[in-house]
């Protein structure tokens, strides 16, 4: 949801939490994102990765690893970028103008990017409301509610869009732990799939993302990025991590267990209405008060500017954080007085 | 100079050198770029820089350091990007269409980017040939010949462009060691200056560059990049390095000394017709044979597809490399037989 200046505020910036709750105890526990708190262990990074321009072979090695990890069909194109976000920004400038439908509510940057490119955009609540849209965008599984659209439905949607020279954009930022839900292996026509590296691998600061689809479109994205778009260290870390299936398998098991543990902590405070293994969505009429209560305890949840009854929680990364979260949730009483209300209703600065 | 497929080949990718000269001794000495071979020492990089999304404070710290290092006027805008290249790619899509003149010959990606955006582009040899161009692009000091246009002339050009609602784009990628030549401190209207981090600081793989100019235009670039465009480690390394004036001062002295040393080695082989402290341009009718001779010795110079009489040399980074280069240059005789000619005229794959 865009602010007046056209930018969107996000979780993950603790400076905002500290400004809201200056008296909170340190260290802050940042649960405001869906980033895996246990990162992929950084491989050794030779100085040459920092010194020289990233070479064609470095990029080829990363793309080969990504093709394997994401099971990309040989005929499909793939392009790497310094984060999925910049692909979201570039894409609307590289397709023919036409009506766009974004299945919402979802990650706000999609709608904003198409609007910035001057496209007529509708946010729709159901897929069958796409109408005459030539571009349909959805996040699958969705952020923040984890809603998952099945592959058969997506394929049918892609076919109908292909028939009218349209495009289906699927942001699979959170699909890594449920790979059977990915549309990439059977990639239908007129489909572009976005994959993010940093969330699952816990390395969001690295900036690495991919677009996979028809070679003409991925080629246009590659040309728009120009040479050396991805940093040398990111090419190397990405190539190592995406080839490491054992790490991913273990992370899926561990984070799925963590998600269940988080659900158990949240359940007394409301209804866990969705999520993925990396974040859980809590619905409660006391969301504002709970946000403020946790904030005063140095725990930063994610709230939503236009949905005052929901909070999203990422996973704690260590036992100290689990213990502090459990204690904070247990000590919450909905009516904490005027201070809670003030902190709960002041401009949050993020959606 | 663009290849048939619309891409441009550059120095810096040793895989190309190895393909041309598979029997050359290792390790290769890469003199094909203008990257400082003595990099800024990497500061400690806390894991959190890799894990979390880069925060607004991290970006603000980098921009503050860049404003100081580049002496940016308070009223000017500044935007950081994952390398200058992506700014070159984005810029033509963010200004009003109109005729564009690029002062050449120069770094080939400028002309290509404006052409890709559908602009009418002329490459001009002199500034007074700009004619009715609404956008004028020049690299200052120029790559590969080091040609430097004075600040007074640039200001006058900017004023005339401002009068017709135009834009002057100055790529100052190689100005760091001659800061008195930068137009940033007196930034005229209708001027956008590009600054590169990786060359001077010897960290090209990091991907970091800046655009500085009127806030409306830098704001458009920032919006086109979207949030988190620069990786966390790059924000931190850039902020440290750009605040370290002592390192820059020493590097200027050391590299200027190296450039003079290189000139002395090159002088017997032709005329050193220009350059900067990070690269030297040699003019010789034996350029193709010399390129092949050096290549067979595992030394990769930069040649130019459309100028067979010139070679560009970056600086060796250690005494072993200096010694090997000196020996290879001393042992060169223009007529090295058919093998030299073959290697010297086959498709070079770069401009």
Torsion region of A292: left, alpha or beta (phi above 0 gives left; psi -120 to 50 gives alpha) = alpha
Confidence of residue A122 (pLDDT cuts 50, 70, 90): very high
B169: DSSP letter: E
Which residue is associated with the tokens 């080629």?
Answer: A219
* The pLDDT value given to residue A40: 98
**At a CB cut-off of 8 Å and minimum separation 6, what does B119 contact?**
B92, B97, B98, B99, B100, B135
Stronger pLDDT, A265 or A3, i.e. the higher one = A265
Q: Show the tokens assigned to B117.
A: 């955006």
Confidence of residue B12 (pLDDT cuts 50, 70, 90): confident
Q: Please say if the pLDDT value at position A46 is more than 80.
A: yes
Q: Which whole number is the average pLDDT over A11-29? A: 92
Mutate to test the interface with B, among A10, A58, A80, A207 (most CBs of B within 10 A): A207
Of the candidates A88, A54, A86, the residue with the CA atom closest to the CA atom of residue A235:
A54
**Model pTM score:** 0.92
* The pLDDT value given to residue B223: 94
Strand partners, A208: none
* The pLDDT value given to residue A4: 38
* The pLDDT value given to residue B341: 41
* The pLDDT value given to residue B348: 34
Helix (H, G, I), strand (E, B) or coil at B235: helix
* The pLDDT value given to residue B199: 98
Of the candidates B231, B201, B240, B163, the residue with the CA atom closest to the CA atom of residue A229:
B231
Degrees (nearest 5) of the Cα angle A144, A145, A148? 115
CA of B290 vs chain A CAs: smallest distance (Å): 24
Residue-range domains of chain A with CATH: 14-39+247-345 (3.90.1150.10), 48-243 (3.40.640.10)
Contacts of B204 in chain A (CB under 8 A): 51-53, 228
Confidence of residue B128 (pLDDT cuts 50, 70, 90): confident
* The pLDDT value given to residue A341: 41
Q: Which whole number is the average pLDDT over B110-115? A: 96
Q: Please say if the pLDDT value at position A325 is more than 70.
A: yes
Confidence of residue B166 (pLDDT cuts 50, 70, 90): very high
User: Is any Cβ of chain B less than 8 angstroms from the Cβ of A252?
Assistant: no
Q: How many CA atoms lie within 13 A of B278 on its CB side?
A: 25
CA of A116 vs chain B CAs: smallest distance (Å): 9
Could you say which residues from 62 to 121 on chain A have a Cβ atom under 8 Å away from some Cβ of chain B?
Answer: 82-83, 85-86, 88-90, 93, 109, 113, 116
The chain B residue lying nearest A59, using CA atoms, is B13
| Cα separation, A113 vs B92, whole angstroms | 18
Which of these ranges, A69-78, B49-58, B330-339, has the smallest mean pLDDT? Answer: B330-339
* The pLDDT value given to residue B349: 33
Q: Please say if the pLDDT value at position B2 is more than 80.
A: no
CB contact under 8 A, B204 and A56: no
- Residue-wise pLDDT for A196-230, tens only, equals 999 999 999 999 999 999 999 999 999 999 999 99
**At a CB cut-off of 8 Å and minimum separation 6, what does A22 contact?**
none
* The pLDDT value given to residue B195: 98
- Residue-wise pLDDT for B197-208, tens only, equals 999 999 999 999
CA of A67 vs chain B CAs: smallest distance (Å): 22
Comparing CB atoms, the residue among A35, A50, A93 nearest residue B206 is A50
Contacts of A51 in chain B (CB under 8 A): 35, 37, 39, 202-205
Confidence of residue A336 (pLDDT cuts 50, 70, 90): low
| Cα separation, B17 vs B49, whole angstroms | 35
Of the candidates B109, B95, B96, the residue with the CA atom closest to the CA atom of residue B139:
B109
The chain B residue lying nearest A232, using CA atoms, is B205
Confidence of residue B4 (pLDDT cuts 50, 70, 90): very low
Q: Please say if the pLDDT value at position B3 is more than 60.
A: no
Confidence of residue B350 (pLDDT cuts 50, 70, 90): very low
Q: Please say if the pLDDT value at position B155 is more than 50.
A: yes
Cβ-contact A309, A284 below 8 angstroms: yes
Number of Cβ within a 10 Å radius of residue A7: 15
Strands (E), chain B: 29-30, 77-81, 100-103, 121-124, 135-139, 167-171, 191-196, 209-213, 271-276, 279-283, 299-300, 302-304, 307-314
| Cα separation, B68 vs B111, whole angstroms | 30
User: Is any Cβ of chain A less than 8 angstroms from the Cβ of B178?
Assistant: no
Q: How many CA atoms lie within 13 A of B66 on its CB side?
A: 28
Tell whether omega for the bond before A27 is within 30 degrees of 0, i.e. cis. yes
Mutate to test the interface with B, among A205, A222, A230, A350 (most CBs of B within 10 A): A205
Q: Show the tokens assigned to B282.
A: 């040699």
Tell whether omega for the bond before A105 is within 30 degrees of 0, i.e. cis. yes
* The pLDDT value given to residue B7: 54
Contacts of B13 in chain A (CB under 8 A): 53, 55-57
Sheet holding B271-276, edge to edge: B271-276, B279-283, B307-314, B302-304
Cβ-contact B14, B177 below 8 angstroms: no
User: Is any Cβ of chain B less than 8 angstroms from the Cβ of A59?
Assistant: no
CA of B117 vs chain A CAs: smallest distance (Å): 10
Which segments of A95-231 does DSSP mark as H helices, in order?
Answer: 109-116, 151-163, 215-225
Which helix (H) or strand (E) segment holds residue A206: the answer is: none
Q: Which whole number is the average pLDDT over B219-242? A: 97
Of the candidates A296, A167, A162, A260, the residue with the CA atom closest to the CA atom of residue A221:
A167
In angstroms, the first-to-last Cα distance of chain B is 6
Q: Please say if the pLDDT value at position B238 is more than 60.
A: yes
Cβ-contact B161, B190 below 8 angstroms: yes
| Cα separation, A207 vs A54, whole angstroms | 15
Cβ-contact B10, B88 below 8 angstroms: no
Q: Please say if the pLDDT value at position A348 is more than 70.
A: no
| Cα separation, A76 vs A219, whole angstroms | 11
Q: Please say if the pLDDT value at position B118 is more than 60.
A: yes
Q: Which whole number is the average pLDDT over B72-84? A: 98
Contacts of A49 in chain B (CB under 8 A): 205
CB contact under 8 A, B227 and A52: no
Strands B29-30 and B209-213: unpaired
Q: Show the tokens assigned to B18.
A: 């190895």
């Amino acid at each position: 949801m865009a602010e007046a200046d056209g930018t969107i505020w996000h979780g993950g910036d603790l400076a905002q939490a500290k400004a809201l709750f200056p008296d909170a105890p340190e260290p802050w526990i940042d649960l405001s994102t869906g980033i895996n708190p246990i990162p992929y262990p950084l491989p050794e990074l030779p100085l040459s990765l920092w010194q020289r321009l990233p070479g064609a072979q470095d990029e080829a090695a990363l793309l080969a690893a990504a093709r394997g990890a994401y099971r990309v069909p040989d005929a499909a194109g793939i392009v790497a970028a310094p984060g999925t976000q910049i692909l979201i920004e570039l894409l609307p400038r590289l397709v023919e103008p036409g009506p766009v439908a974004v299945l919402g509510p979802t990650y706000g940057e999609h709608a904003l990017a198409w609007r910035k490119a001057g496209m007529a955009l509708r946010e729709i609540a159901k897929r069958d409301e796409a109408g005459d849209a030539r571009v349909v965008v959805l996040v699958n599984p969705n952020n923040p509610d984890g809603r998952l659209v099945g592959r058969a439905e997506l394929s049918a949607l892609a076919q109908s869009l292909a028939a009218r020279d349209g495009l289906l954009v699927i942001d699979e930022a959170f699909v890594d732990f449920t790979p059977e839900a990915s549309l990439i292996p059977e990639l239908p026509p007129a489909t572009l799939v976005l994959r993010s590296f940093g969330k699952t691998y816990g390395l969001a600061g690295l900036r690495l993302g991919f677009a996979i689809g028809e070679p003409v479109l991925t080629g246009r994205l590659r040309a728009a990025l120009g040479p050396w778009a991805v940093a040398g260290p990111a090419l190397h870390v990405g190539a190592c991590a995406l080839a490491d299936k054992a790490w991913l398998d273990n992370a899926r098991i561990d984070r799925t267990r963590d998600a269940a543990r988080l659900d158990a902590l949240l359940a007394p405070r409301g209804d866990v209405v969705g999520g993925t293994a990396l974040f859980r969505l809590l619905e409660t009429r006391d969301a504002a008060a709970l946000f403020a209560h946790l904030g005063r305890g140095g725990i930063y949840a994610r709230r939503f500017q236009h949905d005052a009854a929901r909070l999203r929680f990422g996973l704690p990364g260590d036992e100290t954080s689990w213990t502090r979260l459990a204690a904070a949730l247990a000590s919450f009483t909905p009516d904490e007085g005027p201070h809670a209300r003030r902190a709960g209703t002041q401009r949050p600065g993020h959606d």
